[in-house]
Structure 1
Amino acid sequence: MKLTRFLPIALLAALSFTGCSKDDDSASGNTKLEVRLMDGPGDFQQVVLDVRQIEVHLQDENNPDGWQTLPFQAQTINVLEYVNGRSALLVSTDFEPGDLKEIRLLLGPDSYVIGRDGQRYDLKTPSGQTSGVKLKLDNVTVRPDQTFQLLLDFDVAKSIVERGNWRPGNDKKERYLLKPVIRVLAQELRASLRGTATPAAARPQVLAIRQSITPADTFSTATDATSGAFQFSGLPSGTYRVELFPTTTAPTGQAAYRVVTRTGVTVVNDQVTDLGSIPLQ
């Protein structure tokens, strides 16, 4: 998805994330910082990231002393498990109020993908893992007595790049590069948009195009293969056009799947807009 108020960054550097954990709803009344991960779908069976560390920067950009390491236990994460409105809680920690300038992510050397062919391919990362990926934050302030959330939207389709000179039979370690495209969404954007495409077998890609700004802002996701459900989370408020594009062909004897467009869809902060069932035949 593409989200405003967060900075789209095509990064040609190493990527890493903090480890997943279950939601921690204890400690009320304290200032907390949460970091969550969600994913835009890609054409792989698995995309596994070797997550080592996450840090935030609290000082001016050029101040090397402003980095703070957040609590985390290293682990691997299959990011394709976190689509259709699901997210992984990476960090939940007590935090001093103040401004956040950047977030930095570090990956270990063991990231990989499982392709549609069932084969494992190592993910090679230009620039190495030592310096990490720095994502700038735009006017992000953690205030007292709240839980502040940063949502990291990892675009699989754009982040994993096949080498142009790779051919079947070559070293599997040399097929894919990881060039992360990550967007960071601050907590105050909490609108959601959902619906269900029928039949689920059409497996449409879904675009939500915010038309109440210029230029228009486009978000994308895919439906669940079993239920046909889709959900966009963390959208900015506005008026949207929603488009569904089937990616499969209807069985012989059935009506063809068709592209469906819904216009004038209103999305409001802190609310869920439900489009209900959307027939594609």
Structure 2
Amino acid sequence: MKLYKLVLSLTIVVLISACDDSNNSALNTPIEEGASLSIKLVDNPGDYENVFVEVIDVLIKYESDSADDNNGWLSIGIIEPGIYDLLELTGGVNLPLVENEIIETGIIQQIRLVLGDSNSIVLSGESEARPLTTPSAQQSGLKVMVNEPILPGFDYNFILDFDVDESIVVAGNSGNIILKPVLRANLEINSGNIEGVILPVGLAAEIEAANENTSATTFTNDQGNFQIAGLSEGVYTLTITPDVNSTFEPIVIDNVTVTAGDTTILETILFE
């Protein structure tokens, strides 16, 4: 099973709201007068085989420096609307939603991820997808508080972390499985990453980075690669736990330093 988890420096629980009309004037600003906006989607893990969600749009609630555009919702659109398996976002893989859109200076107050209704889930140990019920209010937009000032000439790269484990709710004895999405957001420039490789290839392992303030977990991909992104600057303890079917003992690595805007690349971690 492919799983991926990030805990992000800016943590926000999703708020659900209706979608307002928007205008796109701030997205047509010349680059010398504005800034570049990119948004990508990653996955916090959950104990499932697949979690398929239909992503159809991204909007921002934007207070621009132009009085005419204040407090409006802007539809940015996404690179390729479609149905995506969140659990494929592992080993440093992410889903680019928006790339290098030009916006005016001002403040991004919120980001809204808009879903369709073609969502489904494959439970652990099963092979057939079950419908993932999505209340209509959630389809209108998953709202994430940001409140990020936008200055001219800068690149603003946001990570949206879709927390699968918190987002899936089994409705009592009815058998219905409900999608109540929880998203968190992080600006990459304010955080750092940890990357590494675990051998032997094919050994599934869980990797947790933790300190007194936060913890984040991810899993290796098929090649043994892993990445934990969006970590606050600081010193972490890394715990690598092999699959329960393995005979290997966990490995603990102390004093892993994360610097904002950088990736800490570890030496190859070998289980033998």
Counterpart residue type for residue 191 of structure 1? G
1:144 to 137, 152, 175: 152
- Alignment partner, residue 233 of structure 2: 237
Q: Deviations over 1:25-63 (max 9, x none)?
A: xx9866211111111233333222111222111249xx9
Residue 244 (structure 1) shift: 1.3
* 1:154 matches 2:194: no
Q: Distance in 2 between matches of 1:85 and 1:14?
A: 31
Q: Distance in 1 between matches of 2:167 and 2:205?
A: 21
Q: TM-score, normalised by structure 1?
A: 0.79
Residue 132 (structure 1) shift: 1.8
Counterpart residue type for residue 109 of structure 2? K
Change (3 A) 1:58 1:15: closer
What pairs up with 1:222-261 in 2 under 5 angstroms?
Answer: 222-224=219-221, 226-250=222-246, 256-261=247-252
Q: Distance in 2 between matches of 1:34 and 1:227?
A: 28
What pairs up with 1:1-281 in 2 under 5 angstroms?
Answer: 1-4=6-9, 6-9=10-13, 13=16, 31-59=35-63, 65-72=71-78, 74-92=81-99, 93-115=101-123, 116-126=125-135, 128-129=137-138, 131-138=140-147, 140-166=148-174, 174=176, 176-211=177-212, 216-224=213-221, 226-250=222-246, 256-281=247-272
Q: Distance in 2 between matches of 1:230 and 1:193?
A: 8
Identity score, percent: 27
Q: TM-score, normalised by structure 2?
A: 0.81
Counterpart residue type for residue 57 of structure 1? K
Residue 201 (structure 1) shift: 4.2
Counterpart residue type for residue 86 of structure 2? V
Residue 3 (structure 1) shift: 1.5
Q: Distance in 2 between matches of 1:15 and 1:277?
A: 48
Residue 143 (structure 1) shift: 1.5
Change (3 A) 1:15 1:85: farther
Q: Distance in 2 between matches of 1:125 and 1:70?
A: 23
Counterpart residue type for residue 41 of structure 2? L
Unaligned runs of 5+ in 1: 17-26, 168-173, 251-255
Q: Distance in 2 between matches of 1:265 and 1:280?
A: 19
CA contact (8 A) 2:17 2:143 kept: no
Change (3 A) 1:155 1:177: same
Q: Distance in 2 between matches of 1:100 and 1:135?
A: 11
| 3-state SS, counterpart of residue 257 of structure 2 | strand
Q: Distance in 2 between matches of 1:162 and 1:77?
A: 21
Q: Distance in 1 between matches of 2:193 and 2:270?
A: 21
Q: How many residues align?
A: 249
RMSD over equivalenced CA pairs, Å: 2.8
Change (3 A) 1:275 1:133: same
Unaligned runs of 5+ in 2: 1-5, 20-29
Counterpart residue type for residue 96 of structure 2? L
Counterpart residue type for residue 108 of structure 1? G
